[in-house]
Chains A and B, each alone.
Chain A
Amino acid sequence: MVLIRDLVIQGGQMLLVLLLAPLFTGFVRKMKARLLRRRGPPLIQPYRDLTRLMRKEVVLADSASWLFRVIPYLVFAATWVAAALVPTFRTGLLFSWSADLIAIIALLGSARFFLALAGLDVGTSFGGIGSSREVMIASLAEPAMIMVVFTLALIAGSTQLSTVAEFMGSPQVGLRVSLALALIGLGMVAIAENGRIPIDNPATHLELTMVHEAMVLEYSGRHLALIELSTSLKLILYVSLIACLFAPWGIESAHAAWPTLAVGVAAYVGKLAVGGFLLAFFETSIAKMRVFRVPEFLGMALMLGLLATLLRFVTRSF
């Protein structure tokens, strides 16, 4: 019985993030438009885009290989599995123990590895520019993320995301300098990993500054739909991650009864709304930076993470 309940909740969590992901992307777009005093597309526009892309035929480049056609599924699978392991409305997910925080980062790393390969597959210069910049950004963002994870793991005594989230919700955490550094570092990494302003602009095309969009330029039809969905999933994953680690209020513990789960879901949706608004606000208030300023930005995130970890190594009270 307990197993069935846990299975249902794990499945529900997977479906929830999958269904909410396009809505969240639409919400951020809407917020950005409203902040610019535009009306903006309706909230459900991303769903419409996805279904339209699904219905269209795939136009595949002559030089594309079988790998190019497999990669959207691989990227989607890796991102979805990673997103399924981040607690949203309830900790103690059934399969939480199968991959810890380091493994979640590595899963996202797999998705990026294959997407960067897709950028090189057709053999165009735009794909190459996107891939080479993406791996440059990742080569700094990933260690920064690992350092943030180290900090959290050393505070909570575990790399298990459910355990960490439960610990962060308990009163023994308190305010810590290392946590503040980790939060800033994680925020910077999240912005870079999701290709948001000031690192990359998700709304642009045909610019020499683009990164993610250049990599997926040759995709069309159902392949593009999967890639777009994975991008949305990744965004909601990072917001859920920050929410469950640094705003663990309202997240239900593993033993919660059915009715209180509704509270958890409501709290989660509320946190998404706040997160989406903050993201939109940040993006509209800052200008996109040149590509070669990005290492400075991410280098700072790495240094913050390293500093936070060092603090945890040197003393237990910060």
Chain B
Amino acid sequence: MTLTIILAGVAFLLALAPLAVAVGRSAAATRLVYGASAVVAAISLAAALAHLLGAAPPQNMTLPLGLPWLGAHLRLDALSAFFLVVVDLGALSASLFAIGHGEHEEAPQSVLPFYPAFLAAMTLVVLADDAFTFLSAWEFMSLTSWALVMSHHRVADNLRAGYVYLVMASFGTLALLLGFGLLAGADGLYTFAQMRAAHPSATLGALALILALIGAGSKAGIVPLHVWLPLAHPAAPSQVSALMSGVMTKVAVYGFVRIVFDLSGDPAWWWSIVVLLFAGMTTVMGVLYALMHHDLKRLLAYHTVENIGIIFIGLGLALAFKAHGMLFAAALALTAALLHAFNHSLFKSLLFFGAGAVLSATGERDMEHLGGLIHRMPQTAFVFLVGCAAISALPPLNGFVSEWLTFQAILLSPQLPPWGLKLLVPAVGALLALSAALAAACFVKAYGITFLGRARTRAAAGAAETDSYSLAAMLLLASLCLIAGILPGLFIDALAPVSSALIGARMPVQIGAQWLSIVPIAASRSSYDGLLVFLFMAASGMLAAFAIHRLASDRLRRAPAWDCGYPDTSPATQYTAMSFAQPIRRVFGTFVFRARESGEMPPPGDMRPARLTVELHDLIWDFLYAPLVAGIGEAADRLNHLQFLTIRQFLTLVFCALVVLLLVLAVWS
């Protein structure tokens, strides 16, 4: 029943797409498409929530679509219900936001048809129960999101973003295709149920893991496969950026979890080493990239890379614990990872909405041209601040809870016997702590330069508050960030069926703990109570305010800024994003990005301005992708000669190829 409702929603969304082609140019089309998408997402969200919270048994369905006589297999179990909640919550808020924000769209006809199709595709990926349906839905998701990235195709940067995205997406699907091929085996067991029952051998499972890490990891943004993400996510319209960063990366996480935890059989301990190595690198590289950038949306996209790293750290730990039979620790690590996936979808969508609101109010994405927006857009500034605090893992908001759980999982890992893990896990813990601190630094920069200070340009000075639909969407997500932060026990309990299904164990029931605190293992070991921390902070803050109000002077005078007696009249003398990040660039960037600063000071009497040039190198692009691109170009140039052969030469070529193939066949058998 639940599955039927959700599928009806998908069918409706798919029908909405051609309708949007027909009416795309009319004025009411924006409201119609986004409004209908919001309603469908809300219904589907309710259905998925009912399934997850009710701990209902899995539902199966076979539709007469797809491969002839075999049909498309669909299944709604706890894992897919959880990710459906993530998808639908993201879709609901994005559609709500877009009802207002979509009015600013210059070319709605190139966004509206693909938007509902994209939502339908993500839902189908999560529901698919055979390799064919999964891969078709996955490709459909890639293509619709590619079309949305290309909706402003006249901007040169977007063309490159779309191209890189398309190449990386096909590469990722290829890896997944091979992975499913391995799992299907010689008998071609293409449904997930058959794969699950087949119990693949250790070698096959390991190869499937690596292919899943490449395939799903490239979609999620694992370093070094992340290169397309910071190009493509910001290029799309803001509601789509939010969906791609907040939701589509989670669908990729779903793909990884489904293949590795569900289909690949029992994990070997060294699988976790592979995952943890890449996850640790992803976490720190993502945040360091973000610190070096001053395009607001690109900065947010790089933070997605960082948070995907945090999620994969949890998944890697869960694999290690599962391989050693420490099922409760595995349940803790998996719950931490999934909770972080949920939390990240909340605050990342919120932040992209905020960036979209700023973009439509000022026409600027570059933080160096903004500033002082807190005066012009006070409500947007407030909700954006909540998002910044949540993603920086500040208590009592939700980002802290999932990072705290990940730390608790790390603290359980000395009991793991292999030496490789004993050395790697503390290093990963240090990287996680480092990235948390750097993320806070980065969001001080993002918020401080964009919303605080004085306006740096006329566009920023003339901004106006965004519309009420956008504000409602942001407010919804901000309050969810707070609720998930102060009542994390509810969310952990909701994840229990998922970890029971995948690991065979669950975290202790949290709802009965005193004062709604969360207790991952035992009260004597560790506990955290977001509600009490929130109440204490509110109480002591109000107490201080009350005491000050009663005892202290309440006189207040406005005056020019003091600034040590030399106030700057020009807003250009404020700190910029680049100068704010300069100390961190100097500490980390000289090594990671080979950052160099060179100053050019004209001689006295010369009227030229002094110049400071900062040089940054993306070493991953320079050493991994640039040689690859050059190599492919070179090979294409060489092979180009084959195009201009005479007919005799072509015939010889064909003949030789035939002989070689026959020889191979003869030798093989």
Q: Judge if B555 is at the interface, Cβ distance under 8 Å.
A: yes
- Asked if B389 contacts A110 (CB within 8 A), the reply is yes
Of B436, B553, B574, the residue contacting A124 (CB under 8 A) is B574
Q: Whole-angstrom distance between the alpha carbons of A238 and B392 in the complex?
A: 23
> Is A187's CB within 8 Å of the partner chain B?
no
List, in ascending order, chain B residues with CB within 8 A of A99's CB.
395, 528-529, 532-533
Q: Are B525 and A314 in contact (CB under 8 A)?
A: no
Most buried by B among A116, A131, A135: A135
Q: Judging by beta carbons under 8 Å apart, are B587 and A103 in contact?
A: no
B515 within 8 A of A: yes
Which residues of A (102-120) have their CB < 8 Å from a CB of B? 102-103, 106-107, 109-110, 112-113, 116-117, 119-120
Q: Do A135 and B371 have beta carbons less than 8 Å apart?
A: no
Residue of B nearest to A221 (CB): B553
Contact A102 B404 (CB under 8 A): yes
- Check B444 against A120 for contact (C-beta < 8 Å): yes
The answer, yes or no, to whether A255 is at the interface (CB within 8 Å) is no
In the assembled complex, the Cα of A309 lies from the Cα of B431 at a distance in Å of 13
> Hey, what's the 0/1 contact readout for B586-627 against A, CB within 8 Å counting as 1?
110000000000000000000000000000000000000000
Q: How many angstroms from the CA of A119 to the CA of B448 in the assembled complex? A: 9
Q: Give the residue of A67, A107, A112, A150 whose beta carbon is less than 8 angstroms from that of B395.
A: A107
Task: Select which of A61, A97, A106, A139 is within 8 A of B561 by beta carbon.
Answer: A61
Q: Is the CB–CB distance between B426 and A74 below 8 Å?
A: no
* Interface segment out of the listed B82-90, B256-264, B535-543: B535-543
- A285 is an interface residue with CB less than 8 A from chain B: no
Which of A40-48, A49-57, A169-177 participates in binding chain B?
A: A49-57
Q: Is B458 an interface residue (CB 8 A)?
A: no
Q: How far is the CB of A231 from chain B (nearest CB, A)?
A: 15
A62 touching B559 in the complex, CB below 8 Å, given contacts A109-B437, A313-B425 = yes
Q: How far is the CA of A157 from the CA of B522 in the complex (A)?
A: 11
A contact residues around B375 at 8 Å (CB): 65
Considering only residues 206-221 of chain A, those with a C-beta below 8 Å from chain B are: 206, 217-218, 220-221
- Please, which residues of chain A bring their CB within 8 A of the CB of B583? 132-133, 135-136, 291-292
Within 8 A of B (CB), among A55-105: 55-67, 73-74, 76-78, 80-81, 84, 95, 97-100, 102-103
Bits for B397-439, please: 1 = Cβ < 8 Å to A, else 0: 0001000100110110110000100110111011001101110
Within 8 Å of chain A (Cβ to Cβ): is B172? no
Among A107, A113, A163, A310, max chain B CB count under 10 A is at A113
Q: Are B575 and A132 closer than 8 Å at their CB atoms?
A: yes
* Chain B residue with Cβ nearest A147: B430
Which chain B positions have C-beta within 8 A of A73? 541, 544-545
Please determine whether A80 and B540 come into contact, CB atoms closer than 8 angstroms.
Answer: yes
Q: Does B164 contact A (CB under 8 A)?
A: no
User: Which chain B residues lie closer than 8 Å to A139 at the CB level?
Assistant: 434, 437-438, 440-441, 584, 587
Interface assignment of B548: CB less than 8 Å from any CB of chain A = yes
Interchain CB contact (< 8 A) of A67 among B452, B541, B574: B452
Name the B residues within 8 Å of A154 (CB-CB). 411, 414
CB distance from A223 to the nearest CB of B (A): 9
CB of B568 within 8 A of chain A?
yes
Q: Is A9 on the interface with B (CB-CB < 8 A)?
A: no
A159 to B515, CA, bound (A): 19
A160 near B525: Cβ-Cβ < 8 Å:
yes
User: Which residues between 543 and 582 of chain B lie within 8 Å of chain A, taking CB atoms?
Assistant: 544-545, 548, 551-564, 567-568, 571, 573-575, 579-582
Note all chain A residues with C-beta closer than 8 A to B393.
Answer: 106, 109
- Indicate if the CB atoms of A97 and B527 lie closer than 8 Å: yes
Q: Which residues of A contact B436 (CB under 8 A)?
A: 142-143, 146
B562–A58 CB distance below 8 A:
no
Q: Give CA–CA (A146, B435) in the complex, Å.
A: 12
The answer for the CA separation of A306 and B437 in the assembled complex, in Å, is: 16
Complex-state Cα separation, A222 to B553, whole angstroms: 7
Interface size class of B (residues with CB under 8 A): 35 or more
A21 on the B face (CB < 8 A): no
Smallest distance from the beta carbon of B563 to chain A beta carbons, Å? 4
Cβ–Cβ < 8 Å partners of A129 in chain B:
575
The contact of B529 among A67, A98, A206, A220, by CB within 8 Å, is A98
Q: B407: which A residues are within 8 A, CB to CB?
A: 102, 146, 159
Q: Could you say which residues of chain B place their CB within 8 Å of the CB of A226?
A: 544, 548
Say yes or no: A125 contacts B526, CB within 8 Å: no
Are A54 and B575 closer than 8 Å at their CB atoms? Answer: no
Bound together, the chains give a CA A273 to CA B545 distance in angstroms of: 31
CA distance A314 to B413 in the complex (A): 11
When distances are taken between beta carbons in the complex, the residues of chain B under 8 Å from A120 are 444, 448-449, 452-453, 575, 580
Q: B495 CB to closest chain A CB, in angstroms?
A: 21
> Any chain A CB within 8 A of the CB of B454?
yes
Asked whether any CB of chain B lies closer than 8 Å to the CB of A126, the reply is: yes
Asked whether A54 lies within 8 Å of B448 as measured between CB atoms, the reply is no
Given contacts A61-B560, A73-B545, A138-B441, contact A132 B582 (CB under 8 A): yes
Q: Does A198 contact B (CB under 8 A)?
A: no
Contacting residue for A125 out of B558, B562, B575, CB 8 A: B575
| Residues of A contacting B: mostly | helix
Partner of A113, one of B440, B452, B538, B580: B440
Does A128 sit at the interface, judged by CB under 8 A?
A: yes
Q: In the bound complex, do residue B523 and residue A97 qualify as a contact, i.e. CB atoms below 8 Å apart?
A: yes
User: Which among A66, A117, A217 is the interface contact of B378 at CB below 8 angstroms?
Assistant: A66
CA distance A121 to B373 in the complex (A): 11
Determine if B561 and A122 form an interchain contact, defined as CB atoms under 8 angstroms apart.
Answer: yes
A residues within 8 A CB of B426?
Answer: 147, 150, 306, 309-310, 313
Q: How far is the CA of A76 from the CA of B546 in the complex (A)?
A: 13
Minimum CB–CB distance from B268 to chain A (whole Å) comes to 21
Please report the C-alpha to C-alpha distance between residue A66 and residue B426 in the assembled complex, in whole angstroms.
Answer: 42
Partner of A313, one of B423, B529, B563: B423
Complex contact B541–A143 (CB within 8 A): no
Q: A121-B453, A132-B582, A138-B440 are in contact. Are A55 and B372 (CB under 8 A)?
A: no
Known: A74-B541, A226-B544. A140 touches B587 (CB 8 A): yes
* Contact between B434 and A110, CB atoms less than 8 A apart: no
Q: With A106-B393, A117-B452, A146-B429 as given contacts, are A57 and B562 in contact (CB-CB < 8 Å)?
A: no
Q: Which of B404, B408, B410, B532 contacts A98 (CB 8 A)?
A: B532
Assembled-state Cα–Cα distance A318/B493 (Å) = 38
Cβ-based interface call for B203 (8 A): no
A-B pairs, 7 with minimum CB distance: A128-B575, A120-B448, A123-B453, A77-B541, A57-B555, A135-B441, A136-B583
A54-B551, A100-B526, A292-B586 known; 15 new pairs, CB 8 Å cut-off, are: A59-B557, A74-B541, A95-B532, A97-B517, A103-B400, A122-B453, A124-B574, A125-B575, A135-B441, A138-B437, A146-B433, A159-B407, A217-B563, A220-B562, A221-B552
14 contacts between A and B (CB under 8 A): A54-B551, A54-B552, A60-B559, A62-B559, A67-B381, A74-B541, A76-B541, A100-B527, A103-B404, A110-B395, A116-B448, A133-B583, A146-B436, A225-B552
* B residues in contact (CB < 8 Å) with A: 371-372, 374-375, 378, 381, 385, 389, 392-395, 400, 404, 407-408, 410-411, 413-414, 419, 422-423, 425-427, 429-430, 433-434, 436-438, 440-441, 443-445, 447-449, 452-454, 515, 517, 523-529, 532-533, 536-538, 540-541, 544-545, 548, 551-564, 567-568, 571, 573-575, 579-584, 586-587
Binding site for B on A (CB under 8 A): 54-67, 73-74, 76-78, 80-81, 84, 95, 97-100, 102-103, 106-107, 109-110, 112-113, 116-117, 119-129, 131-133, 135-136, 138-143, 146-147, 150, 153-154, 157-160, 163, 205-206, 217-218, 220-222, 225-226, 291-292, 295, 302, 305-306, 309-310, 312-314
